[in-house]
Amino acid sequence: MTPLARLILAQIDADGPMTLADYMALSLMHPKHGYYATRDPFGAAGDFTTAPEISQMFGELLGLSLAQAWLDQGAPAPFALAELGPGRGTLMADILRATRGVPGFHAAMQLHLVETSPTLRQVQAKTLKGHAPQWHSATEDLPDLPLFLVANEFFDALPIRQAQRSGDSWRERMVTRDGDRLIPALSAPTPLPMLAQRLDDTAEGDIVEFSPAATRIAAHVGTQIATRGGAALIVDYGDWRALGDTFQALRAHATADPFADPGGADLTAHVDFEALALAAAPARHTRLTAQGVFLERLGIAQRAQKLADALTGGAQQAHLAAHRRLTHPSEMGTLFKVMGLYPEGAAPPPGLLG
Ligand code: SAH
């Protein structure tokens, strides 16, 4: 048994079954044994690959969308350019390179990264050498400035809770022990006030997921953008209004039992974009848009052609495959969605519709 599994069993013995959210938080972010705290999980050798690791075009186009939103709002100075969960720092490096030529953007910018993993902070420091980012552990610690923010595959890593409809109450899916194994088990029915509106669109036995951490972070970002100006681009897999069990573990690019090895596999859930949009009010939210459509509107085809012209052979083939992977409906193009946040009276960030 791993030290983290032992620690979770001891906590269950002391306090009783724990919520999925507590289980996810310990598995991913425990300072010593958590998944993100102990490794760099990206790339072919890791457990998963993300859009910025697939092609530089992803970050370039997101950067240009944010920079245009900044220009549209009168080029406020100073402003915070921020990223939630920057991984290896690749997305931010591509954003910074693509926006170098935007007059005044870098001069007015303060770079802020929200990251809890010490291991990944070190990787980010290397990738972003020369840009002097400031790190924060919580979104609430971002400076009180106009906020231009990206979050790619961040919200899916935040702890979720799951509840199963039972009459007008809910049975919560908890984590408990069966001998030395961790297993899911349903609680007794309890009313959950935060799910009141879901009594309208669910039937007996339906599973609903909700993330108190995601709601808190979206509320903070939304308030900041509504009061100080700015824009957010939130990219993730998920949909408008969560329904059903999407909790999963990923290991070596395949799904795994999420209760088998806490800390040893990535745990994620699909993002409920409606919950983020509601929490982010009074900031306005754009329509939820497929990643492929968003990137095409921003001109990925032309950018891909330009890069392809400079390449030959295997490198050119790999580049064309990466373009397809980001945009094609059978790859990441429709599973991944983009939602923008922006202030009342401003234009939505380019690539998205209000
Ligand atoms: N955006 C990157 C990485 C996505 S993985 C990319 O697209 O490649 C998720 C990232 O969020 C990791 O950097 C992880 O350490 C960070 N993270 C997860 N939960 C977090 C939390 N609660 N607060 C801050 N960062 C978190």
Cβ of 63 below 6 Å from ligand 1: no
**Is residue 179's pLDDT more than 80?**
yes
Task: Tell how far the Cα of 26 is from the centroid of ligand 1, in angstroms.
Answer: 15
Closest Cα partner for 230 from 112, 56, 336, 138?
112
Task: Tell how far the Cα of 16 is from the centroid of ligand 1, in angstroms.
Answer: 29
Report the pLDDT value the prediction gives residue 116, as an integer from 0 to 100. Answer: 93
Strands 18-19, 79-84: pairing kind: unpaired
Q: How far apart are CA 222 and CA 218, in angstroms?
A: 6
pLDDT bin (cut points 50, 70, 90) of residue 252 is confident
Cβ of 289 below 6 Å from ligand 1: no
**Is residue 45's pLDDT more than 90?**
no
Report the pLDDT value the prediction gives residue 274, as an integer from 0 to 100. Answer: 96
Cβ of 348 below 6 Å from ligand 1: no
Report the pLDDT value the prediction gives residue 171, as an integer from 0 to 100. Answer: 98
**Is residue 65's pLDDT more than 90?**
yes
**Is residue 325's pLDDT more than 90?**
yes
**Is residue 48's pLDDT more than 90?**
no
**For residue 253, what are its two tokens?**
């690019």
Report the pLDDT value the prediction gives residue 75, as an integer from 0 to 100. Answer: 98
At a CB cut-off of 8 Å and minimum separation 6, what does 285 contact?
A: 276, 277, 339, 340, 341
**For residue 268, what are its two tokens?**
């994620």
DSSP string, 286-335: ---EEHHHHHHHTTHHHHHHHHHHT--HHHHHHHHHHHHHHH-TTTTTTT
For the residues 94-104, what does the mean pLDDT come to? 98
In the predicted model, what is the mean pLDDT of the chain? 96
CB 228 within 8 A of CB 144: yes
Q: By percentage, how much of the chain surpasses pLDDT 70?
A: 100
pLDDT bin (cut points 50, 70, 90) of residue 37 is confident
For the residues 29-40, what does the mean pLDDT come to? 89
337: which strand partners?
A: 236, 290
Report the pLDDT value the prediction gives residue 35, as an integer from 0 to 100. Answer: 93
Q: How far apart are CA 238 and CA 127, in angstroms?
A: 29
Report the pLDDT value the prediction gives residue 40, as an integer from 0 to 100. Answer: 83
Cβ of 153 below 6 Å from ligand 1: yes
pTM metric for this prediction:
0.96
For the residues 23-39, what does the mean pLDDT come to? 92
Cα-Cα-Cα-Cα dihedral sign, residues 106, 109, 110, 111? negative
pLDDT in tens, 227-237: 999 999 999 99
Report the pLDDT value the prediction gives residue 44, as an integer from 0 to 100. Answer: 73
Task: Tell how far the Cα of 134 is from the centroid of ligand 1, in angstroms.
Answer: 16
For the residues 142-150, what does the mean pLDDT come to? 98
Report the pLDDT value the prediction gives residue 53, as an integer from 0 to 100. Answer: 96
Report the pLDDT value the prediction gives residue 41, as an integer from 0 to 100. Answer: 86
Q: How far apart are CA 208 and CA 198, in angstroms?
A: 8
Could you identify the atom of ligand 1 that is nearest to the CA of residue 156? Answer: 9
pLDDT in tens, 73-88: 999 999 999 999 999 9
Going from the C-alpha of 328 to that of each of 199, 239, 324, the distances in angstroms are 36, 18, 5
Could you identify the atom of ligand 1 that is nearest to the CA of residue 85? Answer: 11
Report the pLDDT value the prediction gives residue 47, as an integer from 0 to 100. Answer: 84
Cβ of 170 below 6 Å from ligand 1: no
**Is residue 302's pLDDT more than 90?**
yes
Q: How far apart are CA 327 and CA 336, in angstroms?
A: 9
HSE, side-chain direction, 13 A CA sphere, residue 50? 21
Task: Tell how far the Cα of 25 is from the centroid of ligand 1, in angstroms.
Answer: 12
**CATH fourth-level superfamily of 35-157+211-240+265-342:** Vaccinia Virus protein VP39 (3.40.50.150)
Cβ of 236 below 6 Å from ligand 1: no
Going from the C-alpha of 80 to that of each of 83, 192, 230, the distances in angstroms are 10, 37, 9
Q: How far apart are CA 280 and CA 284, in angstroms?
A: 8
